[in-house]
Every structure is written in C-alpha cells, then in structure tokens.
Structure 1
Amino acid sequence: MGGGNVRVATMAQVILSTATVYGVYLLGRRLFPGEKAGRTGLWAALLAALLLPLATFPALFMAETLFTFLFVAFLLALLQVPEVRPGRRGLWTLLAGLLLGLCALTRAVALAFLPLAALWLYFSLRPRPGETVGRPSFLRRWALPLLFLLSGLLSIVPWTVHNALAYHRFILLDTGASYSLWAYYDGNPRPDIEEINRQLEAIPNPADRQAYAIQKGLELVRQDPGSLLRKALAAFPYLLRVKPIEDRFLKMPYREPSLPYFLLALLLDDGLYALIAVASLAALVFLPASRGKALALLWLLYNLATMMLLHAEARYRQLLFPVLIPCAALALAEVRRLFRVRGWLWRAVVLGALLAGWAYCFVAYSPWGWAALNVRRGFYQMLGQVYRTLGRPEEALRSYAQAIEVDPCHPEPYYDLALTLERLGRVEEAAEVYASCWRLRINYLPCSTSLGNLLRRLGEEKAAREAFRGRYVAEEDVVTWAWENLALAPVGRVDVGGGLDAGYVYGVYAGEVGGGVTFRWTKAQARFRMIAGGAGMARLRLRLAAPGREEAVPVVLRIVGDGETRWALGPYWSTYESGCFPVREGEAVEAVLESPTFVPREKDPASTDPRALGVQVDWVEMVIQITCNSGESGYNTDTPFP
C-alpha cells in the first residue's frame, strides 16, 4: 500500500457501494419502465441495500465493488441511448462505451460483452412499428454501435500500451483466461494446480506465461474434446449453491465469524440470493419482450457461458446482481400484472422447470453439513464467550470444550479456550492449547502469535521467535494483530525487528538486519507501546537513523496524553530521548513517531522497493524513576545515559 491510508481507501469503496444502491434504484425504474416503475426502483434499492456482499466487499479491496458500480452506471447510460432525442444519442453512446471499457479494466469478463452490447444497441435503435418521429437512418443505426465499440476500446488502450512497454508483448488486458483454460480442465488426468503454478512462476514474462498456458490447455482439450461439456455441466451448480467461502465474513480481523454473523450471512447472502433468483426467473419468463428484458438476458447468458467455459464459483454471481436485482424487484412490485400476460400457462410450465432445476442445484450441491456444523460449533463458542463476559470462566471453559468436541478440526474454539486459560493465569495450559491450535491449522495467526506472547513471557525466546514468525503468514499481519489483541508484559527495552517485538510496535514494516543491527523501517506514522514496570517520572529513549535522504529528517515523537519532542535525524544511528512524563505501575504508555517518507524506487531507478519509508528504529526503552529538570530538552547522543 506504500504510504496510503487503508481507511481512506475503504471509505472510497464504501461510498461506491452506497452509490451503487442508488444506481440500482434508477436501474429498476429504467430497465422496465411502466406505471409502477417507481415501486420497482424502491424494491430494487431495498434488495441491494440488504444484500450482504455489497456491504462486506468494500472492506476486502476486491474488484467486485468498483465493477458493480461501473456496470450499473454503464447500463443506465446504455438504456438512455434509444430514449433521448437523436442529437444527444452520440454523447450517451460515447459515455456507455467508456464505462463498459472501464468495467473491462476492472474485470476482464466485460471485454467480450462489448460487441454483444453493440448488437443490442443496433437493434434497439431500429424503428418500432408505426414510429415516424426521430427515426434514425440506417447509417446512424450502425454509426452509434461503432462509436460504442470504439469508445469502449479507447478505455483500455492505455493499459494495453502499458503492457506492451512493460513486457514487450501484446496483452490486451490480462492473462487470467489462459490460466483458467489449463488449470480448470475437467479431463483425465486432472491437472495438478500446484505443479501448474510452479511451471508458470518459472516463466518471468506474463505474455509468455499466457501463451504457454493456452498451449497446454488446448493440448488437453484436443485430447478430450468432451471435457469442455463436462466442465460446463460441473461448473454450473457451483454458481447456484450456498457459498462455503469466507469473503463475506468481516467481523474480526484474522478470525472467523461469530454465530450471529454467520446466521446473518446465510440469511442476507444465500437466503436473499435465493429470493432474488426465484423472483428474477419469474420476471424474465412472464415479462413480455422489451429492450430491458433483452439486455438483462444478454448479460446473464453471456456470463453463464463464460463462467461454465472457464471457471465458476458462487462468488462470481455477484456480477449478475446488477440485472437480477431489478428483475426480482419487478416481480415483487408487479406480481399480479406478470401473471396476466398471454400464454401464462406455458410460461408457468417453463418457470416450473427452471425453478426445479435451480432448486435441485441449490439443495443438492450446497454444503448443508458445513453450515450445520458451523451453527452447532458457533452456538457453544458463543455461549462460552457470554460466560466469559459474565465472569464465569469455568462455564466458559466447558462450553469451549463442547465446541471443540463438535468440530475438533476448527481452530476458533481452541483459541477462545486458550485465551480464557491465559486470563486465569494458567499459562502452561494455555500455551499447550495454543500449540495444539497452531498444529491444527499452521497459518492460523491468532494461535501462533498468542503462543509467541506466552513463550516470550516464560523466557523461551527461541521458541517465541518461531511462533511469532508463524507459517504462511505475513509479518506485517502479525504486527497488526498483536498490536490490537495481545496482553503485554512490562519490559524495559524492546529490540525492534529482533523477532520479539510483536505487540509493542505498529505502523512498521518487516524486520531487517543491516550492519549487525536488527531494525524496522517505520511508515509515516509508527506507534510504540511500553508497559510501565514501576511508578514515577519517565522518559522514552529510541535508537534511530534516517538513511536515504540528503538532508536531516524532521521527526516528532508524541506521548499519547502528554507532550511531544522534535528531532532532526541524520543517516547514522543515534540515541534520542523524549521529555519527562509521569507513569503509574502497569500503565500502558503509547508513543507516536511521525516522519516524512520516501519511496526508494522513486529516488533510485535501480531499486525495486515500492514502500514509503520513514526512519529506522533499532530499539525503544522506557526509563522510570528519574529526575527531570524543567529546562531539559530532548537528549540526542549515542553515548551512554547517566
């Protein structure tokens, strides 16, 4: 993220998702205009507002949030083209093409929809029977679809040029489709995903990787052409079932959802999807032919074909919601009118067949056992958390044990059990449970990091470093989780970057070694937390350096709730001292170190380091029971303190 602010980026995503709800409201009104278009729009907005992925995806920095916003905007612009007077159609066509091009830059699946949308535009501009006012000429009917195609391609040209300059090959957008063609081949023998990844990682140029993946994928298809049909038939049910994935669960960082949130997800993600699917199918079957219906069907069928040919999973149905939600809203708003159309009997038969097929896939392929297991385990785990909050730890321990008995392969109840034991002072028992949890799931950060904290407290530094290092976890994630969750012991000095500083530092990068010194680079704002081992007046002392800059670097150290000290740092290691402040025994003292940042690769073309670096920190210590002179300023020397 460089020096970016994650919260600002998240808020931008939240704004886009919120705006999408309003866009879906407008789409409900315009996709199916009529006397009750306003009611349809309100139903569409309600469904979009309740749909859980629209609320959770913004915090995940996934492409779906931006794509959904852009695609809704594209549909609104495209639907305007046939409705406005001829003199303004060109502007709306240009806007629609640019928006669909931006959609393709966000998710490449939209690229091949350009010609299909252009065909829809051509036929929507054909004169209606008896229409005489504003009838476009034959040339204009073709001119607008061509303008639409060109404007869509214009959006992606800069990225294509970037690819050519960066990789010296032609890559229109991305290489994801080639990977799916090979990796998700449904023949015999099935490809080994890990082996495929190893082979592709050995090819440095993405264009060459793409060509190699296409070659291998086509070789497999030529050996067994029927694999494409089997793949399509096998992939389709995965779009319709309950989602056994965690991308919607955001209650606690690095942890899995509590029972209430899990049930909420089943209701407002899978449950609401089921309502939208049934209602939208009814609308599409019973709705008379119209421009809006044709556009909705075109997008749905195109996506289904693409997903079944390449790769499908339940998360991808997020791309279908911009048209499914308005269709479902129409069915809910005008249910009586829909069933009054001509030929309602054969339409009902078709709808019944479609719903039977959908229901079979939804019931037969959904992981109901997984859902039931999570509900049972979550009940006992939540019960234990309630007991712990009420100050009844023994009942909490029994509840966590029951949760483990229900699902012995899930790390969550192990973590809660160990945490309760730790708070009861049963440190050795807690360490054993944390270790069991870590062995159960080696990348489960809460257990490995909590184990490191206990081992550090017990003086087992080598084992503590190994636990803090974890397995298949990012060091910065360990730092973040430890800062927010660990109960820390008082220490006089923290060796920053030495492998035992988790919980005491935040806003820093992974530890490094240079010149025999372990250290961490700070971000624009770093934080340090020290636990007072006594009472009295205290100072913070830090060993800092600011290499990479030609001039002295101004920094500010703020003691939260107290004063601040300013220094000018040079490129070499020096020790700096804060002003005095009072502390109580056991008090957590938090300090904020602010500094300007620089990006190495912007200063040195040979560097590949994209980080926004502040200053280097070797260690931090807090000295208590000292004498403070009122006129004394911050200390700056590399000699021992008196």
Structure 2
Amino acid sequence: GAVAGRWSSVAIVALAAGLVIAPWTLYASRTYGGLVVVDTTGAFNLALGARTAYDGGRSDAPLRNFVLALLDPTLSEGQRRELLADPRGGSCLYAAGDESLLAALGTPTAQISQADRQRLLSAEAFCLLRAAPVAFVKKSLGELIDLFQINYTGDERLSKGFALGRLPPWYALALFLLDDTLYVLALPLAVVGWGIAAGRRSRPAAMPLLGLWLLYNLGTAPLLFAINRFRVPLMPLVFVLAAYALAALPRWGGLRTRYGAACATLAGLLLLVAATPYAYLEPRAPGEASRWASYLGPYPSSLASTGLALAARTGYLAEQQLAAALGAGDVADAHDLLTEEYLPGYAVGVGEPLFDGLEGRPAAGLHRLATEPVQPLEDWQTSLIAGELFRQLGDVEAARRELNPPLVDNQNPVAWAWQWLHPPPAPGNRIDLADDNDLGYIDGFYLGRYDADLGATVRWATGESALRFPRAASGEPQRLCLNISGLGWPEDLALPTISASLDDMPVGSFALTRDLRTVCLDLPARMAGSDLTIRLRGDTFVPDALDLVRQQGPQVGQLRRLAFQLDWAEVR
C-alpha cells in the first residue's frame, strides 16, 4: 500500500507535467513541421558532444558549418556541399553519402523545416557516435567528473577579465562565497541527506520523483558537455537535501547501515572531486596552470582565481583612469597616471606611446612601440596604437594599413578605441564608416560590411551609439548630416525614430526609412576648436538565428541588437 501510494504520487506529478508540456509540444510540432517535444537545441547539443569526442577536443566550427549549410539562403548548393566536405571539420553524414542530407542540400533552405534540421542534426550525432563510440564513452566519463567541478571562467559566471581586475570586489567575493563555497559545502551534505531520508521507514513520498530528476540530469549532462549551468536544475534539490541533513543531525547514526555507509562514502568522494585539496600535490612546471584544481589548489582554482581578481582590482582602476585621461587628451593627468605604482605593465605599454602622441611626438611613440620590452596585452592593440600614431603624423594611408589587418578587424575594437584614443580631426570633419579609419571616432557600432542592396559600406549601430568629431566646432551654428538607412528591419516591425543629441543636449530626431538617405540636423554654436560628440538613440531588434550562426572568430556568440545602418556622418 505504501509503495503503491508513492508511485501514484509520482504518476500524478508526471501526468501534471505532461498536461503542461503537451500543448507546447503540439504547437511547436505544428509550427516546425515535425515532432518537437520541447525545443530543438537537444539535437545540436548532442551533435556538439559527439563532435567533441570524435575530434578529441572542442570546436564549434564543424557544427556551425553544418547548420549554415541547412540555414543560409545566400549559399549555393556547391558552397553548402563545400562546407560539409571540409577535410578538417566536415560532416560525418556527408562523408557517408547519407541520402537525406544530400536531398536537403539540393533543397532551398526556406523549404527545410526546423524539424528536418533537428532530425539531420540527430542523425549527424549518431553517425559520429558510431564512428568513435569508445571516445564518446571516455569523453562522457570525463564530463561527469567536470560536472561536479568548478569552472571559474564559465560564461554563465560573467567573470571574463577577472585576472585583469575587471570584477568588482563584492562580485568576486560573492562568486567565491555564495556560489562556490556554498556549492562545495552543500553537495556532500545533500548526499548525506538523501541517505538519511532513504533509510527512514517512512520515506518522503517525493523521494522516487526526486531521484528520477537527479538521475535524468546526471545522465544527460555528460552526454552533451559539462558546463556550470547544467548544475542549476539540481541545485534547488541539493539545497533542500543539505538542509534536511543539517536538521537531521541527531539521526546521522542511521548512516551505519550498508546503504548509509555507501551514501557517506559517495559524499566524501564528491567533496574531494569538488574541493580538490589534492590539486596542491599535482606535478607541474613552475607557472603552469593546474589541470586538477576546482575549488582549492593552484590557478585556475576558485580560491586562486578569487585572489587574482582581488589583487588586480587596484591596477585595473588605475588603468581605467589612464584610459579616461588619454581619451580626453588630458596630458597632465595622463603623465601623472603613467607613474602610478599600481599601473599594470601592459597598460604602460599602451599608455606611453599614446602619451607621446598627445605631446605631439607620434614618431617617438612609434619608435617606443617597436622597441620597448613592455608591450600592450594584445597584438591588435599594438596595430591600433600604431594606426593612431600614423594618423597624428598625417599619414592616413599608413594608418589604414595598421587598422586594416584581420587581427584588428576581427576584434572590432570600437569600444576600446573610443576609450583609449584621442584621434586628430577627421578629414573634412567626415567619418566614413568601416573605411579602415573610423576607429576612435565611433562607439556602439558592430563590424562593418558592404551591403549590396544599399551599394555602400556600412556599420549597424546598436540602441545607443556615438560619433566624435575632434576640434570640429567652428564657433557658429553647424549641421550634422548622416547617410543612414533602416534596411534590414523585419517587415512586420515599424521602423523606429532616431534621436540625436550634442553631448546631453537634444538636437532633433527623424524617422528611419529603408532607403539610404541623407538626414541633416542643426547644431548649436560651440566654442571654436572644441570637440563635438553626437549621441544617437533608437529602438532595436534582434536578428534571426542565422545572424548569430554567421558570427566568426572573436565575434562568435555575439547577440546583436540593431538600430540602423550608417554609411557616413559629417559636420558641416
């Protein structure tokens, strides 16, 4: 009777879940042209996990090419086949001559349903699994261990740049104490709580359902790939079980049974896996990152990474002050900040040549950039600084050669250039977008491209963007002219109104159109020789999934919010 009662409770919950999910399943399946139980990401994730095992390492490119071949309407059938025939990352199904895939490649992408793509991705995953089953088993076992360990730099943690001091101290401490420490303590306690609850004569009725949920998550996550967010569905139950263990502290003697001892042993093992105190014993070369570390241990453990984040904060603040001074052209402040004790070496490598340029010695800055042992952090920063110094020398062509290389273009360092550079006046007070000479004059713009429909090279702007016209003020009223278009906005959305301001003073607004047209607004008089900073604001839209898939290199995963396309801007 008790067993039947427990399973009837499980059946009721399962029925309720089915009633909640079924309407969505029906809607999604009708919308996407085939069976879609919840969503279509499971097939992609399974294929990505299988691809990782097959290749012996993580690479997004093969699956991205697979999706592009089924999704991108601008590709010919030959180009779609080339993507899947790539010897370094081609398709398993394509190599096997799968008829369904070959038929899909001969079909216009608009006629391929999302359900068809899901089926083909699932087939690709199983093809890879059949090709390397042992590698997949090894990968999954490794992922199971990784699931219980802390990845300090996981995207979900928003900790990018922690070693450079970009995390506020309160955030770094919250990650360590309220995320990692709480997790490491709760995990073994949850197993103990399970052992105590399962050992009682009158077990909680929800135990079978809770166990199924835990097993489902622990079984599926390693099949895909272990990332921090895959633990999130488990954590509410982990905390409940851990609290139960603490509340039942007087009954811990119940763990003396064989089952209780097994739970206590598992709790100890999980504590070791998550906390990794043994990582301090790992044999490694001096300065080499630890492969064993999770919570404790050398870098990249949570403890060591938190220490780095806190220690680097003072230097980061000094770096930001230097960037603000250089960007504003404040020679006196920049001079003082370059002597700041806590300024990181890479910031000195950026600041000193730019400071030479501010003092009217760009040639000295170029010499310093080429010969000094202290260099900027990234190669693209070196090229960007050199381009800025050539601009100050008046050699625009040399500047374009430095600002044009793929290592700069791929980074699209618009925000960095806006922050650090104090560029000379733009020729004719005109900014040509994406002409290899616009960095430092613009902010809030995405990577440039040639738009064949507009017949122009343009950049998309986000909802808040800015244009800088150094020393453009004439002392008289002037005009701001923008060659701008809203082409690319979805047909079912109304085009937005774009507002413009000079610094914080509104100067007008205009309705966006799909044509590329020139719009001019009046500007009030400003002191002759002063800078004019124009700020543009407007509503945005998020483009379709194809836009996300097309992002390459450092732009991978960038969700763009688009307002308008700009060809050029000019102050007259």
TM-score bracket for the superposition, by shorter chain length? 0.5 to 0.7
Quote the residue 2:239 is aligned against.
325
Q: Deviations over 1:428-487 (max 9, x none)?
A: 367458976333xx6xxx666556544544445456446656757887963344445544
Between the aligned partners of 1:308 and 1:457, the Cα distance in structure 2 is 55
- How far has the Cα of 1:160 moved from its partner? 2.3
Aligned 1:45-444 pairs, distance under 5 A: 123=6, 125=8, 145-146=14-15, 148-164=17-33, 170-172=35-37, 173-174=39-40, 175-180=43-48, 182-185=50-53, 194-195=61-62, 198=65, 201-204=68-71, 210-215=118-123, 217-219=125-127, 221-222=129-130, 227=135, 229-248=137-156, 250=158, 257-258=165-166, 260=169, 262=172, 264-287=174-197, 288=200, 289-332=203-246, 334=247, 337-340=248-251, 343-346=254-257, 349-362=261-274, 363=276, 365-366=292-293, 368-371=297-300, 381-382=312-313, 384-385=315-316, 391=336, 393-394=338-339, 396=341, 400-401=344-345, 414-415=346-347, 417-419=349-351, 422-423=354-355, 427-428=365-366, 431-432=369-370, 437-439=377-379
Between the aligned partners of 1:123 and 1:268, the Cα distance in structure 2 is 35
The 8 Å contact of residues 143 and 225 in structure 2, kept in 1 or not, is answered as: yes
The 3 A distance-change label for structure 1 pair 451 and 366 is farther
- How far has the Cα of 1:576 moved from its partner? 2.8
The 8 Å contact of residues 520 and 618 in structure 1, kept in 2 or not, is answered as: no
Aligned 1:455-474 pairs, distance under 5 A: 455-462=390-397, 464-465=399-400, 468=403, 471=406
Quote the residue 1:620 is aligned against.
570
Quote the residue 2:525 is aligned against.
581
- How far has the Cα of 1:238 moved from its partner? 0.3
- How far has the Cα of 1:588 moved from its partner? 4.0
Between the aligned partners of 1:121 and 1:460, the Cα distance in structure 2 is 84
The 3 A distance-change label for structure 1 pair 159 and 214 is closer
Query: Is 2:471 aligned against 1:532?
Result: yes
Between the aligned partners of 1:539 and 1:374, the Cα distance in structure 2 is 52
Quote the residue 1:590 is aligned against.
533
Q: Deviations over 1:182-213 (max 9, x none)?
A: 21437x97897655654564445565665555
Between the aligned partners of 1:171 and 1:400, the Cα distance in structure 2 is 52
Q: What value does the CA root-mean-square deviation take over the aligned residues?
A: 4.9
Letter in 1 for 2:250: F
Between the aligned partners of 1:252 and 1:232, the Cα distance in structure 2 is 27
Letter in 2 for 1:559: L
Between the aligned partners of 1:121 and 1:143, the Cα distance in structure 2 is 12
Q: What TM-score do you get using the length of structure 2 for normalisation?
A: 0.62
Quote the residue 1:494 is aligned against.
430
The 3 A distance-change label for structure 1 pair 477 and 511 is closer
The 8 Å contact of residues 184 and 310 in structure 1, kept in 2 or not, is answered as: no
Aligned length: 454
The 8 Å contact of residues 464 and 500 in structure 1, kept in 2 or not, is answered as: yes
- How far has the Cα of 1:353 moved from its partner? 1.0
- How far has the Cα of 1:349 moved from its partner? 2.9
Q: What TM-score do you get using the length of structure 1 for normalisation?
A: 0.57
Quote the residue 1:9 is aligned against.
none
- How far has the Cα of 1:233 moved from its partner? 2.5
Please state whether the residue corresponding to 2:150 is helix, strand or coil. coil
Between the aligned partners of 1:241 and 1:600, the Cα distance in structure 2 is 35
The 8 Å contact of residues 473 and 528 in structure 2, kept in 1 or not, is answered as: yes
Q: Deviations over 1:291-345 (max 9, x none)?
A: 344443322221111122333234421232122122233444x2xx333266242
The 3 A distance-change label for structure 1 pair 330 and 541 is same
Q: Percent of counterpart pairs with the same letter?
A: 20
Between the aligned partners of 1:569 and 1:313, the Cα distance in structure 2 is 42
The 3 A distance-change label for structure 1 pair 597 and 476 is farther
The 3 A distance-change label for structure 1 pair 577 and 317 is closer
Quote the residue 1:106 is aligned against.
none
User: Structure 2: where are the runs of 5+ without partners?
Assistant: 72-111, 280-291, 322-332, 359-363, 545-559
